[in-house]
A and B are shown apart, each in its own frame.
Chain A
Amino acid sequence: MATAFARNQWYVTAYAGEVGRDLLGRTVLGEPIVLYRTEEDGSVVALSDRCVHRRFPLSASRLDGDRIVCGYHGFTYDTSGACVYVPGQQRIPRTARVTAYPVAEIDSLVWVWIGDPQLADEKLIPRAPHLADPEMVSVRGMEPIDCDYGLLVDNLLDLSHETYLHGGYIGTPEVAETPISTEVDEAAGVVRVSRHMMDAACPPFYSRSTGIEGRITRLQDIEYFAPCLYLLHSRIMPVGRTEPVFRTEITYAITPAGPGKVYDFWAVSRDFAREDDEVTKFLHDFNHTVVMQDVDALNLLQKALDGEPAGYQELSINIDTGGLAARRILARLAAA
């Protein structure tokens, strides 16, 4: 049961810091894309990553100024995707052009529009302002997973798995035990899931970064902006107190690379211990470990599902309330 792709949507394709004067290749919804930044004004260019001539990957080629010169036969493209040079002849075939994708660089993320470029509207891009907020410190990474992107959506919409898959890291018994509230704005394609643990054990992720030694009030408020952006607004404080509040914003961008492949962009932003490099390194390394636990689990799950007969059954319970809503919204977006 592969999750259908939703076209005419913005997708996070890279972190802004990943895109420079080296050519970067990514694949989104099965479309190979090459990204680079112009010398002229530093803006990001996203072109189809296949030369029109013999389909050589342009990401394995080189830049000449702001033009890409194909590394195989020298076909040369400008920032609009137009071919401006072919080897050995004056006439450039009229069809010598690669697709140029609409790009927006917002909140330190590079978003690429997949679909009809006439419909690309930057105002549709959901925001993650904490990623570029000078009052927050962020760590980040990206892991490719060999699974249907719907499995990652499922994973993130139901955090009860923290108790089992991430026990001893970010999970405690209270996560799975605490009832959730789910709100869905159907037309806007937004799912919100809240889990408020008023008296919970403090997992190492928070005890080691905040210094809290006792039990905590732990508030998890998810916002999922289908299809790509997922925000977990996390607030913790010593139990029975209203402050200090330790604010952590956990961001995921869920970008389908192709059938059975997804990019898992992740970031952790905090408003405390901002000057403490040890905390920064700890949160990066610890969260990377947590992400890899998900990566391993989802790789394994996909393999298991691939061996299932068509039409296999699942069983959904209360913890799946948000995930079911997300699946429905993704199906609607894909059918649009």
Chain B
Amino acid sequence: MTGATATGTTAGGAAGAGNAADPSVPVTGLVNRIDWEPGSDLLRGTCHCGARRTCDGPVEMWAWLLAHPRGHGNDDLDG
């Protein structure tokens, strides 16, 4: 069971593979994103509107993202 040969996709095709390209999957474009900043405990949230915020817990971050646009006033808007 050794020396298996890999086939198929390249590494660059890994993220979002599969259904992401499937036209049957509804995509609204309203995507909220939370990145855990490497080397820290901080979370960086990006609202679908582009507003960003950093905090240290997912409960607080989701509450802020879902409150859109409430609470966005004091944050740095991105684009």
Contacts and interface: CB of A to CB of B under 8 A. Distances in A.
Interface of A: 123-130, 135, 179-188, 190, 192, 194, 196, 208-211, 217, 219, 221, 223, 225, 231, 233, 235, 237, 242-247, 249, 271-273, 276, 278-279, 282, 316-318, 320-321, 324-325, 328
A276 B9 contact: no
Interface in B5-43: 5-12, 14-20, 22, 24-38, 41, 43
B79 interface: no
B20 A328 contact: no
Nearest to A182: B34
A19 B74 CA distance: 57
Nearest to B42: A318
B11 A235 contact: yes
B58 interface: yes
Given A271-B8, A279-B4, 6 more contacts: A127-B18, A129-B22, A185-B27, A223-B16, A271-B6, A273-B4
Contact of B1 (A187, A235, A278): A278
Contact of B58 (A211, A221, A231, A324): A324
Interface residues of B, number: 43
Given A211-B4, A243-B11, A271-B7, A223 B18 contact: yes
B32 A186 contact: yes
A124 B19 CA distance: 12
A279 B1 contact: yes
B11 A225 contact: no
B3 interface: yes
B24 A316 contact: no
Contacts of A181: 33-36
Contacts of A123: 24
A311 to B, nearest CB: 17
Contacts of B2: 211
A223 B19 contact: yes
Contacts of A130: 18
B61 interface: yes
Contacts of A316: 57-59
B14 A179 contact: no
B33 A182 contact: yes
Nearest to B40: A179
Contact of B62 (A219, A223, A325): A325
B58 A247 contact: no
A135 B33 CA distance: 33
B11 A179 contact: no
A84 B34 CA distance: 57
26 contacts: A126-B22, A127-B18, A129-B18, A185-B29, A188-B26, A190-B25, A194-B15, A210-B6, A211-B2, A219-B11, A221-B17, A223-B18, A223-B20, A233-B17, A235-B11, A237-B6, A242-B12, A244-B7, A245-B6, A245-B11, A272-B5, A276-B4, A317-B57, A320-B58, A324-B62, A328-B66
A321 B66 CA distance: 14
A321 B25 contact: no
Contacts of A127: 18-19, 22, 24-25
Contacts of A187: 26, 28, 30
Contacts of B58: 316-318, 320-321, 324
Contacts of A182: 33-35
A243 B10 contact: yes
Contacts of A124: 24, 26
Contacts of B11: 217, 219, 235, 237, 242-243, 245
Contact of A183 (B7, B8, B19, B33): B33
Contacts of B18: 127-130, 223, 231, 233, 249
